[in-house]
Copies of this chain bind each other. A is one copy, B any other.
Amino acid sequence: MVHYVELPDGRCYPVVIDSLETLPVWLERVAVPRGRCFLVTDEHVAHLHLESLQAILKTAGWTPYVLVLPPGEPTKALPYLERIYDEALRWGIDRRTPLLAFGGGVIGDLAGFAAATLLRGLPLVQLPTTLIAQVDSAIGGKTGINHALGKNLIGAFYQPALVLADPSLLQTLPEREWTSGLAEVVKHALIGDPALFSLLEMRWTDVLQRNPSLLPDLIARAVLVKIRIVVQDEREAGPRAILNFGHTFGHAIERVAGYGHFTHGEAVALGMLAALWLSHQRHPDLPLTRIRALLQRLPVPPLPETLDFKTLRQVMQVDKKTLAGQLRFVLLRRLGEAYLADDVPEEALQAAWQFACASRQTAVAY
């Protein structure tokens, strides 16, 4: 399956959902000249999947240089960027040497930023290996690293030449990474694809169990939502912000609970419940119960005591999503359609949070 990201200025690249075996053919199709390539991955992915990727590349006549970095968010930082710079330049890349990012969002963002800035831009190939990366982070050209003062504060918009997502790689994902990614898939359904929402509702057990016959379609639908938004707004001037559905609360929840307690997806799952309530206030036709039921099926650990509304509210205020002091929310007008709202009344916030907490109490056990 292949979808194309066609940007208004004529740039275009394929997002392929298929086996890694097809990589050499796709590299040829996007006119990346065969030869040397620089491959960045992390230890988990290397352990599980590097051998087969290398075999595929070598059989097709490629000479990969492999850089394996530690797994986890702390790798998305300047010292590792420098490490990529040093090794790539020492090995001797030129402007046509492709850089392959083989991993989750951490490797994709970091190696993507390296590709954006080495020799002022190398061809970037995203080979996402997590659900989040396959449906979200590998597509759309946001690359970057974290800074001690916050996440993603340094980076560039830089579109890949090719994205190849192999669904079979997801079978080795730890359980919690899988369900965390599912939260993003549900988000994409809510903001952009009612049919995907129905698919998730109807086949939830298969979804949780990663039924291989279901995955390509699931991923493809979620990918299409992301593509549709990105082509409207490459540089995040407007529409792209609807990808932040659930994030105003979500970011604050992540922070207050302490990074590590919730995964990003779990925090967003909670944030989406709050945002759902706010949306329903304005749009009573929104199928609140139906949407809530799916959100409740996303596994989320119990809420810690510290997560009281007052603290959350304070943290939301200093979050970068505020504009001129006004909290910004993404709301649903109907299932599959979202928009930005800067005028959510203060009083509604606490009720929204209570709705989220209450919904979790009656949710399936974690």
- Which chain B residues lie closer than 8 Å to A116 at the CB level? 156
Q: Is A154 an interface residue (CB 8 A)?
A: yes
- Say yes or no: B119 contacts A89, CB within 8 Å: no
- Say yes or no: A149 contacts B90, CB within 8 Å: yes
Q: Is A157 an interface residue (CB 8 A)?
A: yes
Copies in the complex: 2
Contact check: which of B90, B120, B144 meets A156 at CB < 8 Å? Answer: B120
Q: Is A51 an interface residue (CB 8 A)?
A: no
Complex: A154 Cα to B121 Cα, angstroms: 9
- Say yes or no: A142 contacts B120, CB within 8 Å: yes
CB distance from A97 to the nearest CB of B (A): 13
- Say yes or no: A89 contacts B235, CB within 8 Å: no
Given contacts A9-B9, A78-B82, A82-B78, are A150 and B89 in contact (CB under 8 A)? Answer: yes
Given contacts A9-B9, A78-B82, A82-B78, are A117 and B156 in contact (CB under 8 A)? Answer: yes
- Which chain B residues lie closer than 8 Å to A65 at the CB level? none
- Which chain B residues lie closer than 8 Å to A315 at the CB level? none
- Say yes or no: B157 contacts A120, CB within 8 Å: yes
Q: Is the interface of A mostly helix, strand, loop or mixed?
A: mixed
- Say yes or no: B117 contacts A149, CB within 8 Å: no
- Which chain B residues lie closer than 8 Å to A153 at the CB level? 85, 89, 118-119
- Say yes or no: A118 contacts B154, CB within 8 Å: yes
Interface mask (A150-165 → B, CB under 8 Å = 1, otherwise 0):
1011111100000000
- Which chain B residues lie closer than 8 Å to A235 at the CB level? 120-121
Contact check: which of B85, B119, B142, B147 meets A85 at CB < 8 Å? Answer: B147
- Say yes or no: B144 contacts A120, CB within 8 Å: yes
Q: Find the B residue at minimum CB distance from A145.
A: B117
CB distance from A269 to the nearest CB of B (A): 26
- Say yes or no: A121 contacts B156, CB within 8 Å: yes
- Which chain B residues lie closer than 8 Å to A94 at the CB level? 320
Q: Which 10 A-B pairs have the closest CB atoms?
A: A9-B9, A120-B155, A89-B149, A117-B154, A117-B156, A89-B147, A120-B157, A89-B153, A120-B156, A85-B154
> Residues of A with Cβ closer than 8 Å to B?
9, 78, 82, 85-86, 89-90, 94, 113, 116-121, 142, 144, 147, 149-150, 152-157, 235-236, 320
Beyond contacts A117-B156, A118-B154, A121-B157: 17 other A-B pairs, Cβ-Cβ < 8 A, are A78-B82, A85-B147, A85-B153, A86-B147, A89-B147, A89-B149, A113-B117, A117-B144, A118-B153, A119-B153, A119-B154, A119-B155, A120-B142, A120-B155, A120-B157, A121-B156, A156-B156
